[in-house]
């Protein structure tokens, strides 16, 4: 492990002052990504700042403007949160898939988001719920739509001195539901070969799709929205045929690579299958 300074601030102001310092300053929540990256030289740091002790980054609260999840809040807490389990079920699906119980106890939502892996399992669910990122630096705060947060594999749009404070998910409309599924070749502890999150809002009187969101993991340089599939759904009456049309359209938003986990062709097929299945789960969840 290379040498670096280490700090554990207990307030956001104290943390932001540390992040404003010269050199490479990196946040640590659970350390399940960053520790290995520092050890293997894939990332470097002059200072590592453990942000878990900052109360604002531990927030997990339903407010008038939606669900606020602090960047350091553990995935276990998120997966067990009653509001997440009732209203943001795709996020509950994702949180309990990451690694193992030990990883979920340790890792924070902000770590999964800021690591910016194309395979980050919570990210498609956050995208389908139109989440936004609240980031802060000594210069102030700004809000970034999560769909604009990722700049490439392992890259975000965060500027020097900025950290993620929280993620906010707007309140869900009536008659809506979300779901997330991924494919891995074994039961757990693997990175998604492909993952799909879906969200549907239906008009209860005629089953027309009022709002659709589909987001894909592990099939592009960043997690991506499948906008053509969303457009294929919105305004039309939900049926098996429409779901199939959307599943085929979702494939067009995937630009996968072939690697040890699967070929590009296999990943495209997975996008179709997982889109079909997650839309079906959303339909079932809406109908109760
Ligand atoms: C055995 C194992 C299995 C895993 N399985 C999965 C899996 O199934 N699915 C999956 O998606 N991932 C998986 N991972 C990867 C990892 O566990 C997750 O990405 C996890 O959510 C990272 O969270 P963390 O809190 O540990 O992040 P950390 O390692 O603490 O941080 C990750 C990155 O985010 C940055 N960061 C953290 N917080 C902030 C902040 N507030 N502001 C700015 N930057 C910040 C850090 O500087 C670092 O670059 C696995 C890892 C291991 C070791």
CA of 115 to the centre of ligand 1 (A): 6
pLDDT for the residue 187: 73
* Other beta carbons less than 10 A from residue 175's beta carbon: 15
User: Can you read off the two tokens belonging to residue 15?
Assistant: 């943390």
Report DSSP letters for 135-193, one per residue: EEETTEEEEEEGGGSEEETTEESPPTT-EEEEEEEPPPPSSEEEEEEEE-SSSSSS--S
Mean pLDDT over 24-51 rounds to: 97
Ligand 1 site, residue 200, Cβ cutoff 6 A: no
pLDDT confidence tier of residue 89, bands split at 50, 70 and 90:
very high
Q: Coil, helix or strand for 12?
A: helix
- 235-284 pLDDT, tens digit per residue, is 999 999 999 999 999 999 999 999 988 999 999 999 999 999 999 999 99
CA–CA gap between residue 192 and residue 270 (Å, rounded): 11
Ligand 1 site, residue 27, Cβ cutoff 6 A: yes
Ligand 1 site, residue 201, Cβ cutoff 6 A: no
Q: Give the nearest ligand 1 atom to 108 CA.
A: 25
CA–CA gap between residue 124 and residue 224 (Å, rounded): 8
CA–CA gap between residue 164 and residue 159 (Å, rounded): 11
pLDDT confidence tier of residue 1, bands split at 50, 70 and 90:
confident
pLDDT for the residue 185: 86
Ligand 1 site, residue 69, Cβ cutoff 6 A: no
Q: Coil, helix or strand for 199?
A: strand
Residue nearest atom 53 of ligand 1, based on CA coordinates? 32
176-287 topology per CATH: Enolase-like; domain 1 (3.30.390)
| Region 5-50: CATH code | 3.30.43
- 8-state DSSP, 200: E
Residue nearest atom 49 of ligand 1, based on CA coordinates? 115
Residue 189 in this model has a pLDDT that exceeds 80: no
pLDDT confidence tier of residue 213, bands split at 50, 70 and 90:
very high
Global confidence as pTM: 0.97
pLDDT for the residue 102: 96
* Other beta carbons less than 10 A from residue 138's beta carbon: 12
pLDDT for the residue 191: 87
Each domain of the chain, given as residue ranges in start order, spans 5-50, 57-169, 176-287
Residue 188 in this model has a pLDDT that exceeds 90: no
Ligand 1 site, residue 115, Cβ cutoff 6 A: yes
CATH class of 57-169: alpha beta
- The H or E element that residue 49 is part of is strand 47-50
């Amino acid at each position: 492990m290379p040498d670096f300074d280490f700090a554990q601030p207990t307030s956001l102001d104290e943390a932001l002052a540390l992040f404003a310092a010269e050199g490479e300053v990196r946040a640590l929540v659970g350390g399940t990504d960053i520790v290995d990256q520092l050890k293997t030289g894939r990332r470097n740091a002059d200072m590592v700042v453990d942000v878990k002790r900052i109360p604002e980054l531990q927030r997990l609260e339903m407010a008038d403007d939606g669900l606020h999840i602090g960047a350091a809040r553990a995935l276990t807490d998120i997966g067990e949160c009653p509001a997440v389990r009732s209203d943001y079920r795709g996020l509950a699906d994702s949180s309990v898939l990451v690694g193992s119980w030990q990883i979920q106890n340790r890792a924070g939502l902000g770590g999964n988001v800021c690591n910016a892996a194309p395979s980050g399992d919570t990210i498609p669910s956050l995208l389908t719920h139109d989440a936004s990122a609240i980031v802060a630096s000594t210069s102030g705060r700004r809000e970034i739509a999560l769909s604009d947060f990722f700049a490439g594999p392992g890259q975000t749009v965060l500027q020097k001195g900025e950290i993620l404070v929280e993620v906010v998910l707007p309140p869900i409309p009536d008659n809506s539901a979300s779901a997330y599924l991924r494919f891995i070749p074994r039961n757990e502890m693997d990175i998604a070969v492909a993952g799909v999150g879906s969200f549907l809002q239906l008009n209860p009187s005629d089953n027309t799709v009022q709002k659709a969101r589909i987001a894909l993991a592990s099939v592009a340089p960043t997690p991506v929205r499948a906008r053509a599939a969303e457009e294929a759904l919105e305004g039309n009456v939900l049926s098996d045929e429409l779901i199939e049309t959307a599943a085929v359209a979702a494939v067009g938003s995937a630009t996968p690579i072939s690697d040890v986990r699967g070929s590009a062709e296999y990943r495209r097929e997975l996008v179709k299958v997982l889109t079909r299945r997650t839309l079906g789960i959303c339909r079932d969840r809406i109908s109760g």
